Amino acid sequence: MTIDHELIIVGGGPAGLTAGLYAARAKLDVVLLEKGATGGQVLNTDWVDNYPGFPDGLSGFDLADKMTAQAKRFELEIKQTPIIGMDLKHDIKTLHLEEGGTLTCKTLILATGARPNHIDIPGEAEFAARGVSYCATCDAPFYRGRTVAVIGGGNTAIQEAGHLTKFADKVYVIHRRDELRATKILQEKVFANNKIEFIWDTIPTAITGDNTGVTGIELKNVKTDTASKLAVEGVFVLIGIQPNNEMIPLDQLETENGFIITDKEMLTSVPGVFAAGDLISKNFRQIANAVGEATTACLSAEHYLAHLK
């Protein structure tokens, strides 16, 4: 059987680009496949303040551009080729391309990332990265001394609400029910925090703002149908994330809620298949740890290839 590449990397976000950088620098026969522009979710980030090496911060676009340029300096081949399926059952992995045909490889790194769930209301898309955020850990410092709203009632939303109080003066938690889904220990912490106020039985209906960004949020009580408005300068939509796994044969891998399970060397349950970044099952999703995971994944893939020869 003809083998097209030693290594194929699927996904062009920070994890994929880092794996590609390491693989190309090691002179592996590698190609990175990305369905759109490289950068992933970073492209939707207005400003990145917590990535090492940039003391003044930089825009998400600039960080993605620099990562891409660095990988290309080592002649990483990047193809804009959507994938519609994979077969990972055999020693040689096969990827099925949307344009037709297949690509085969000895090793594979999955770095397709994840996407936040949206509430799909007016203003959400318009003010994304201009007051609407999906990561308090990433963006909380930008809201020092301000008033913000958190949408959600699960563990992530409640943990992030607590984190926001380190910076914001006031945090409203808006939840569609009259009780939280978060664990009791997390609930106890936020209920004791005098910076947090809960708005129960309520859903957001619109996010409002102007050329400076978000200025407020419109609400509706689901029990009384009463409409109201709340002045806030930031809205954190924290209602979960979805892995970008549509092209991945989940029945061939060990997963948890659609996220790929790996060991500490980033190996999946299938020999020769590694994963890194937001696609994997883990607690924290930051650019910095995605880059570290991708480094490990590539070095592990290189070690795997060396032992095949």
Residues 6+ apart with CB under 8 A from 76: 20, 21, 23, 24, 30, 32
Q: How far, CA to CA in Å, does 215 sit from each of 122, 130, 205, 211, 220?
A: 14, 10, 14, 10, 17
DSSP designation for 111 = -
Looking at the annotation, which residues are catalytic?
135, 138-139
Give the residue among 285, 279, 289, 265 at the shortest CA–CA distance from 107.
265
Q: How far apart are CA 119 and CA 18, in angstroms?
A: 31
Residue 288 CB neighbours (<10 A): 12
Helices 14-25 & 60-73 angle (0-180, nearest 10): 20
Q: How far apart are CA 94 and CA 87, in angstroms?
A: 5
